[in-house]
């Protein structure tokens, strides 16, 4: 192999590594947000299952899932307060 080809391969490899490093943070953030939304969905489903005995229900949608996923139990409590106040 000639020296220019080796240099080109090294530069392309470095460029690919740089692009991967630049994209890693947004992909990681998107994956974390999706995982939190899914955990929020599970929490809302459990609350709706238990709350059905007490006539307490929350809508299961993306906004509620993300709020419950990011803020956890306080987020679910906040959603209940908003529903009780008639805002949602």
What pLDDT does residue 48 have? 87
What pLDDT does residue 6 have? 79
Give me the domain span that covers residue 43: 3-84
Question: pLDDT digits over 28-72, tens only?
Answer: 888 887 888 888 888 888 888 988 888 888 888 888 888 888 888
- From 88, 80, 6, select the one nearest 43 (Cα to Cα): 80
Residue 1 has pLDDT above 70, yes or no: no
> What's the domain count of the chain?
1
What's the Cα-to-Cα distance from 68 to each of 6, 58, 87, rounded to whole Å? 52, 11, 17
Query: pLDDT higher for 28 or 88?
Result: 28
């Amino acid at each position: 192999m000639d020296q220019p080809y080796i240099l080109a391969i090294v530069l392309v490899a470095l460029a690919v590594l740089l692009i991967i490093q630049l994209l890693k943070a947004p992909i990681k953030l998107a994956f974390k947000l999706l995982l939190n939304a899914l955990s929020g969905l599970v929490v809302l489903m459990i609350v709706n299952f238990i709350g059905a005995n007490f006539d307490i229900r929350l809508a299961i949608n993306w906004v509620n899932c993300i709020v419950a996923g990011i803020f956890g139990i306080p987020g679910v409590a906040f959603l209940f307060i908003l529903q009780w106040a008639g805002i949602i």
